[in-house]
A = this chain, B = another copy of it.
Amino acid sequence: MLSEICLPVGMPKVDVSRLDDLVKTRVRVARGKALFHLGDKADSIYGIRFGSMKTQLEDSAGQVQITGFLLPGEIIGLDGLVENRHVSHAIALEDSEVCVINLDDIDTLSRTIPGLQPQLRRLMSKEIKRSHQMVRSLGALRSEQRLAAFLLNLSHRLATLGYSPNEFLLRMSREEIGNYLGLTLETVSRLFSRFSRDGLIRVQQREILIIDMQALRELSGTDCG
């Protein structure tokens, strides 16, 4: 159950009990607080149990680039395993809880659970794929396409979690969306207004109601992303 949240894809049932050893620790992170900071020692990765987080890079001048918004079941901290130092900050968008997966424990357990390493590889590969999609979005799409793709992607992930794909609450500000999508907050706001005017969505502050999913898809020029 817990394991399914943290390492969800395709494990045989028998192994699940042993997998629980992996996720001994849970950590709560209050809204606005950091799970880890750039430079922190990274000997674990984290699976979100509930809540939502953002990860962001920060350069020497203090300028920030958000690289992801994470939902329950998704894994955080995969970019810190090069030198075992986190290269980004992970900050909670709302009160959240994560489970801690120690990497040495993975290596130990993987001696008796052959499927474990390929499993972790899949998770890392998925993050690479996601990140490449992000590059595509920023490199090839115009602002309205990016925002449409962003909404569809959120919608899709929320649906996977059993929530409504049509109606949801944004956990991030216009500024954070803009930063993530390489746009200014004003542009994001204007696009929301335009989508609303064109009957694609209803938007009131952070509440989103998707009215015309198909039109959004066509606008985004992509499946999700």
Contacts and interface: CB of A to CB of B under 8 A. Distances in A.
Interface of A: 57, 59-61, 63, 65, 67, 78-82, 87-88, 103, 107, 110-111, 114, 117-118, 120-122, 124-129, 131-136, 138-140, 179-182, 221-223
10 closest A-B pairs by CB: A81-B125, A139-B182, A138-B138, A131-B131, A65-B136, A124-B124, A79-B128, A67-B132, A82-B125, A79-B129
B59 A132 contact: no
A213 to B, nearest CB: 17
Contacts of A107: 114, 117-118
Given A132-B88, A180-B139, A82 B122 contact: yes
**Dominant secondary structure of chain A at its interface with chain B:** helix
Nearest to A78: B128
A110 B107 CA distance: 10
Contacts of A223: 60
A32 to B, nearest CB: 22
A2 to B, nearest CB: 23
A111 B110 CA distance: 9
A78 B138 contact: no
8 contacts: A57-B133, A79-B129, A110-B117, A117-B117, A124-B128, A131-B132, A134-B135, A140-B182
Contacts of A121: 81, 103, 120, 124
Q: Choose among A120, A182, A223 the residue with the greatest number of B CB atoms under 10 Å from its CB.
A: A182
Contact of A182 (B129, B132, B138): B138
A128 B132 CA distance: 9
A82 B60 CA distance: 34
Given A132-B88, A135-B131, A180-B139, A80 B221 contact: no
Nearest to A223: B60
Given A61-B221, A117-B110, A80 B139 contact: no
A139 to B, nearest CB: 4
